[in-house]
């Protein structure tokens, strides 16, 4: 976050995704760990590196702390930590989240479907309309990227701007 070079930021982001995938694996979430490792450390990094080939690699200004933003962030963090004091304890089997529907899925999946993987059963059968919605979201994202980047460029781009407090700024006139 503090580095000016975007390449460093992307590499650190890939490491962070991989570490969070390892965290998911420790927290007993096999499917989620696999997805986060494949998507976060793989596809997200590839896309950002592809974009870094197109935009300048360095951020413009020196990172000085932005005091209004910092106070807002610290206030929000304090309020959130105060809100978590009402949360149930970590890992307790009597948590409210473990009642109602969760134990039903755990107990009835093998009888209803005959397959061991409960997450896939919930994803594809008990809650399959949500998965259809997700398929549509991915399709829409593909169509959006096609609409934005699919039409091939004809005119040369405008020359990159320099900051006003520095060298000159010019725009290319050949539109």
Q: Is 108 in the site for other proteins (CB under 8 A)?
A: no
- For residues 30-43, one letter each, b for 16 or more C-beta atoms within 10 angstroms of the residue's C-beta and e for the rest, the string is eeebeebbeebbee
Among 116, 167, 168, 173, binds other proteins (CB under 8 A): 116
Q: Is 16 in the site for other proteins (CB under 8 A)?
A: yes
What span, in angstroms and rounded, lies between the C-alpha atoms of 156 and 164?
23
Range 119-158, binding other proteins (CB under 8 A): 119-125, 127-132, 134-142, 144-146, 148-150, 152-153, 156-158
What span, in angstroms and rounded, lies between the C-alpha atoms of 143 and 33?
28
Answer for the pair 49, 27: CB distance below 8 angstroms, yes or no. no
Residue 138 or 168 with smaller CB distance to other proteins: 138
Among 80, 167, 168, 173, binds other proteins (CB under 8 A): 80
Structure tokens at 43: 């596809």
Residue 81, number of CB atoms within 10 A of its CB: 9
Among 1, 18, 62, 168, binds other proteins (CB under 8 A): 1
Range 155-174, binding other proteins (CB under 8 A): 156-161, 163-164, 171
Structure tokens at 128: 């399959």
What span, in angstroms and rounded, lies between the C-alpha atoms of 131 and 170?
49
Q: Is 97 in the site for other proteins (CB under 8 A)?
A: yes
Range 39-68, binding other proteins (CB under 8 A): 39-40, 42-44, 46-48, 50-56, 59-61, 63, 65-66
Q: Is 11 in the site for other proteins (CB under 8 A)?
A: no
């Amino acid at each position: 976050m503090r580095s000016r070079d975007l390449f460093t930021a992307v590499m650190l982001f890939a490491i962070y995704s991989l570490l969070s995938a390892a965290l998911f694996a420790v927290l007993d979430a096999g499917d989620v760990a696999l997805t986060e490792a494949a998507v976060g450390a793989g596809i997200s990094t590839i896309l950002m590196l592809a974009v870094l080939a197109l935009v300048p690699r360095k951020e413009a200004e020196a990172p000085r702390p932005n005091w209004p933003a910092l106070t807002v962030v610290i206030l929000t963090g304090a309020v959130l930590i105060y809100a978590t004091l009402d949360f149930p304890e970590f890992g307790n089997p009597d948590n409210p989240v473990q009642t109602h529907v969760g134990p039903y899925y755990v107990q009835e999946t093998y009888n209803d479907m005959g397959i061991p993987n409960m997450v896939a059963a919930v994803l594809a059968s008990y809650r399959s309309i949500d998965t259809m919605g997700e398929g549509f979201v991915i399709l829409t994202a593909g169509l959006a990227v096609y609409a934005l980047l699919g039409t091939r460029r004809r005119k040369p781009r405008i020359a990159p701007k320099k900051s006003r407090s520095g060298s000159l700024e010019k725009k290319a006139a050949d539109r």
